[in-house]
Chains A and B, each alone.
Chain A
Amino acid sequence: MNDLPLLSAEAMASFAARGFLRFDGVVPEDINRQFLEEMGDIDPPRPGQKMRRTYGEMLARAGVPQVPAGVALAQAYPEGTALKRLLDLPLVSGAIRSLVGEDPVFDHHFLHVTFPPAYHEASGGENVSQHYHQDSTIDPRRAFDIQIMYYPHTVTREMGGTRFLPGSHLRKVSEAAIARYQNIRGQQHMVCEGGTLLFLHSGIWHGGGVNVSDRTRTMFKVRINPSRSQVRQFDVSTLKPQDAQRPIFYLKGPLPNSVEQILMTPEPWHENDTSRLELLNRVKLWRYLTGDPDYDADYWATRLETLADA
């Protein structure tokens, strides 16, 4: 396990700040091909057939095992299957270890397919994108799960790749309560080559896009829980000691890149006042991930924790 390529401090800080890490084209083509073969073909559209039935038949046929929630991730998939081979890729194992620690636990998985317009026309339904939502329930933990989104084939903009909002993961919302928000500044849409992985913090706001192409779009998601510590699981040898706080506000030029620079970079959608609370919440998450209860960036926490002498 010690030979795993763990995430660097800067990659980890980027995940803490933005709630995602993207690895383009890292899954070898033979695994992508095997995965798609295991999923099987999807029937062409049938007039009058509801999408729910089309989806149900697809799930029943697909070569994805039913796996009980709560089993060890290492036991979730049979040896030799595409998903087992994917999870055993050193880059994937190293990222999982860095983010959720040793002995991760399988939560659930799902085969997400968006269908082109012909299917919706045949079913008499409407072809629309999925509303923004945060998966599962309100989650008050500082700890977090991860979700790996696997794109086994090329995804174009027209195919409706996953839409997500960088930096939204620290907001405590209730699943589809955020559906009212159609578009938010800085949102991203997954457009990628086959074999791309998107690692998401479980709190990230996201939704499936609308497919207006002429072929189905497949994405496989697996949610993973920590079972042990998430503290200092990344490559802490890349963590530079913080000798002093950076100068703030009055700057004569840009500051060099650093963990602090990554943590303190706001998102385009940040509101003026709550942006500062977002930065503070990132500091708290970095304290958790590094096991350093005194860590601060740009003085946001220190200012609040400095008490006058009684």
Chain B
Amino acid sequence: MLRQKVLALYLANSALDSVVVGWSLWDGTGETRRMAGDEDAPPYPTGLHALRDGWRLIQASPLLPHARGEEFDLAYLKYEFLFEQIVETGA
């Protein structure tokens, strides 16, 4: 059976080799149960390190122009990169 693991890395800028500032992991194999607040050090120093470890990039947040009048409004983390691993399980 194939199962998916999804890793979200939030980076310091739009380059994949920039520093990880936030991260999340969901494990479709059921072997681990990750949750908010469970880790204070990132799993990789940069997004590139995740690639080198076998994670496949499946989505990167686009660079959008800044709407006039809203240039200084900040909301969500800006540089989101989603990765996956497809894992063979015995289930």
Contacts and interface: CB of A to CB of B under 8 A. Distances in A.
Q: Do A and B bind each other?
A: yes
Interface of A: 126, 128-132, 163, 170-173, 177-185, 187, 189, 207, 209-210, 268-274, 277-278, 280-281
A209 B39 CA distance: 12
B35 A272 contact: no
B72 to A, nearest CB: 5
A267 to B, nearest CB: 9
Given A183-B24, A277-B74, 6 more contacts: A172-B75, A185-B22, A210-B37, A271-B12, A274-B78, A277-B72
Given A268-B21, A273-B13, A281 B72 contact: yes
B2 to A, nearest CB: 24
A207 B36 contact: yes
**Which 5 A-B pairs give the minimum distances between C-beta atoms?**
A182-B24, A163-B37, A184-B22, A269-B21, A272-B13
Nearest to A182: B24
B50 interface: no
Given A131-B36, A182-B23, A171 B74 contact: yes
Residue in B11, B36, B72 whose Cβ sees the most chain A Cβ within 10 Å: B36
Given A181-B10, A181-B22, A183-B42, A130 B36 contact: yes
B76 A182 contact: no
Contacts of B40: 183, 187
Nearest to A165: B22
A183 B13 contact: no
A147 B76 CA distance: 22
A86 to B, nearest CB: 27
19 contacts: A126-B33, A163-B37, A171-B76, A181-B8, A182-B25, A182-B37, A182-B39, A183-B22, A183-B42, A207-B36, A210-B38, A268-B21, A269-B21, A269-B22, A271-B78, A271-B79, A272-B18, A274-B74, A277-B72
Contacts of A271: 11-13, 21, 77-79
Nearest to A126: B33
- Residue in B13, B18, B33, B40 with the greatest tally of chain A CB atoms within 10 Å: B40
Interface in B6-58: 8, 10-13, 18, 20-25, 33-40, 42
Contacts of A128: 33, 35
Nearest to A163: B37
Contacts, number: 92
Interface string B59-91: 000000000000011111111000000000000
A129 B38 CA distance: 8
B12 A272 contact: yes
Q: Which residue of A128, A170, A180 has the most chain B CB atoms within 10 A of its CB atom?
A: A180
B35 A210 contact: yes
A115 to B, nearest CB: 15
A181 B18 contact: no
B74 A182 contact: no
A159 B76 CA distance: 29
A170 B73 CA distance: 9
A65 to B, nearest CB: 31
A196 B69 CA distance: 41
B38 A182 contact: yes
A197 B12 CA distance: 32
Given A210-B37, A271-B13, A178 B23 contact: no
